[in-house]
Amino acid sequence: MCGIAGIFNTQGTNVTVDVLKNMMGRIRYRGPDESGMYIDEYAGIGNLRLSIIDLSTGQQPISNNDNSLWIVYNGEVFNYIELRQTLLKKGVNFKTDSDTEVILKCYEVYGEDCLKYLNGQFAFAIWNSEKKELFMARDRLGIRPLFYTQNKNTFVFASEMKSILEHPSVEPKLDTQALMQVFTFWTTLSPKTCFTGISELPPGHYLKVNHNGISINKYWSLDFSNDYDYQKGDINKASEAFEELFEDSVRLRLRADVPVAAYLSGGIDSSATTYFIKKVAKDLLQTFSIGFVEKDFDETIYQQEVSEYLKTQHTGFKCTNQEIAESFSDVVWHTEIPVLRTAPTPMYLLSKKVRENNIKVVITGEGADEMLGGYNIFKEMYIRRFWSRQPDSILRPLLLKKLYPYIPSLQSQNGKMLKFFFGYKLGDVDLPYYSHILRWNNSSKIAGYLNKDILSVNSGYDPILDFAGSLDLLHINKWHDLAKAQWLESTIFMSGYLLSSQGDRMAMANSVEGRYPFLDHRVVEFTTRLHPDLKLNGLNEKYLLKHTMQGRIPDSVLKRSKQAYRAPISASFLGKGAPEYISELLGKDKIVEYGLFDNNKVDVLLKKLKNLQQTELDNMALAAILSTQLLYHKFIKGYSPAQNELNDCRILSNSDVLK
């Protein structure tokens, strides 16, 4: 895994080694092993390498035979060995054994169609020095990040936005409309980011930029339009097909020239990936997990049980509320976006522990909930639709209590209170986003803490209506209700939050690469063709996966109730031993100085939380406000250039620009 950055000036000016070095130096942790750049009079592209495949000859940038094409690349293409063999038969020559060169030669042979051959997680840029054109692409599901901006004749890109901010033409400014999106969807709507003028290349898209400007095209999308290949009840046939695909996905993701370990959370997903790793590779497997000192959040007992059952070499540790609070500041630096939960922080601490054990690659279970119907929001949607047929029923809303046993405040509520909380737009079942309207409506209340000036400027803006206006209703309305919910969860939450703030950013902060077998595009496309009952059978989530894993993981894990991964919020930030930066950033002086939130409203929230009169939304509001203050503090108010010289950087050039 790596970090990439680059500059393209259509007029052949303002491309300098020093600026590119600063951009690369800012994200050195993404690739601490070595660095390299190619530069000419029009463009400079750079790579920071975390060496995993072809340790001896895989240095970047890599060029084609006549040096007209140059590539920098972040990620892994897991089927590169097979692609290499195909290209060799076409007469293509290679000078390295790296997957990087396979991508470059694929592009040289197939052009932009090369993307349909790649099985992996990637973001790359290819500079055509003859055409003076830059080609960039991002993997199908957005596992690896890629951002860009354009200012007049200068186009700047990088794996992280903080790298782009190192360019002298870019001035950091928070986009308040983007904040309102975050406070609704937990992320921005791609391609928008929280920084004005900086865009994200959406998942499954490629971009070309030349003297004519920028063009962006989609090459893949998550689609549930296919007829169901497996009819209701055909569980054995579906399970056999799924196992064959998933095992191959795991096999491909074990390819590395360094040791590969696994995360073990104690749930079905990570237990399944661990089982198949052990099945494919007989070597001793190292597994890692994190637990919590607070028992309401801790799953250590299940992690240990799975490790003993599958005979892994396990390293587990627990984090305290104080550790979460102390690390939260660093977490926001890496997320580059406000977060509504503290959940990324333990993942940051876990990857740190992994790196301390000299591990660079971990396989994880992300994607199973989205693709196989595992989330409570899917079951909640089913219950609300069932309830909507008899909206005055007292008994039907009580089913919702079963979904959230880990939220004590919910268990004490009667039918009337449940209706007040869960009954929002209960009868609007024809909304294509019916499954998520309750979550989005509740989260959007956080925007009410913004100050009156920001609310006034954005008074006519509704993030939900903005999103609704972008939907292809003729296409989506043909899908099953579960398919609509899965699409929403995958394209917004999974890509924008889970794979970013909890995934790539937390792992790469400590130079660790995460790999996700459930997100192999073949596995994903297979799940879109499954009958909904094979994913969510009544209220039995991940029905197919559970069937497949019977007798292969402990029954206690297989049959346990779904427990969402969460971490303490108010207990961490407002409890004993909380670091001083929290009270400072939430205090009146900084709230007023930064001009983002209404001080009186924040003060009321803090008093409520300190008196232990809290709801889930109050905790989310606290995390959102503090992380936004941190974002402003780190990137606007207190930002200073990196000035990292990267003295070990390997510099290549086809011109006299360095003379």
For 306-330, what is the HEC assignment?
Answer: HHHHHCCEEEEEEECHHHHHHHHHH
> For residues 355 and 367, what is the distance between their CA atoms, to the nearest angstrom?
23
CA dihedral 399→405→411→415, nearest 10 degrees, is -10
Residue 597 phi, psi (nearest 5): -125, 160
The pLDDT assigned to 400 comes to: 82
pLDDT tens per residue, range 497-512: 999 999 999 999 999 9
Reduced to 3 states, what is the DSSP secondary structure of residue 563?
coil
466 CB neighbour count, 10 Å cutoff? 15
pLDDT tens per residue, range 320-364: 999 999 999 999 999 999 999 999 999 999 999 999 999 999 999
Residue 319 annotated in active site: no
Q: Tell me the whole-structure pTM to 2 decimals.
A: 0.95
The pLDDT assigned to 412 comes to: 63
* Domain assignments of the chain as residue spans, ordered by start: 2-220, 222-579, 580-637
Instruction: Tell me how far the alpha carbon of residue 175 is from its chain's centroid.
Output: 20
Q: Which CATH architecture has domain 2-220?
A: 4-Layer Sandwich (3.60)
- Token digits of residue 541: 């989530």
> For residues 144 and 137, what is the distance between their CA atoms, to the nearest angstrom?
10
| Per-residue burial over 215-241, b = 16 or more CB atoms within 10 Å of its CB, e = otherwise | eeeeebebebeeebebeeebbeebbeb
Confidence of residue 212 (pLDDT cuts 50, 70, 90): very high
2-220 matches 222-579 in fold: no
- Token digits of residue 281: 């590779």
Query: How many residues comprise the chain?
Result: 659
Q: Are 550 and 277 in contact (CB under 8 A)?
A: no
The single-letter code of the amino acid at 620 is: M
> For residues 359 and 261, what is the distance between their CA atoms, to the nearest angstrom?
7
pLDDT tens per residue, range 92-139: 999 999 999 999 999 999 999 999 999 999 999 999 999 999 999 999
The pLDDT assigned to 562 comes to: 73
> For residues 9 and 7, what is the distance between their CA atoms, to the nearest angstrom?
7
The pLDDT assigned to 157 comes to: 98
Helix H segments across 296-414? 300-310, 321-335, 344-356, 368-372, 376-388, 408-411
pLDDT tens per residue, range 138-155: 999 999 999 999 998 999
The pLDDT assigned to 523 comes to: 98
Pairing outcome for strands 69-77 and 62-63: antiparallel
pLDDT tens per residue, range 398-436: 888 777 766 666 666 666 667 777 889 999 999 999 999
Pairing outcome for strands 2-9 and 260-263: unpaired
Instruction: Order the strands of the 286-292 sheet from edge to edge.
Output: 313-319, 286-292, 260-263, 361-363, 513-515
In the chain, the largest separation of any two C-alpha atoms, in whole Å, equals: 80
Catalytic residue of the set 2, 106, 194, 649: 2
Q: Does domain 222-579 have CATH number 3.40.50.620?
A: yes
pLDDT tens per residue, range 54-90: 777 778 999 999 999 999 999 999 999 999 999 999 9
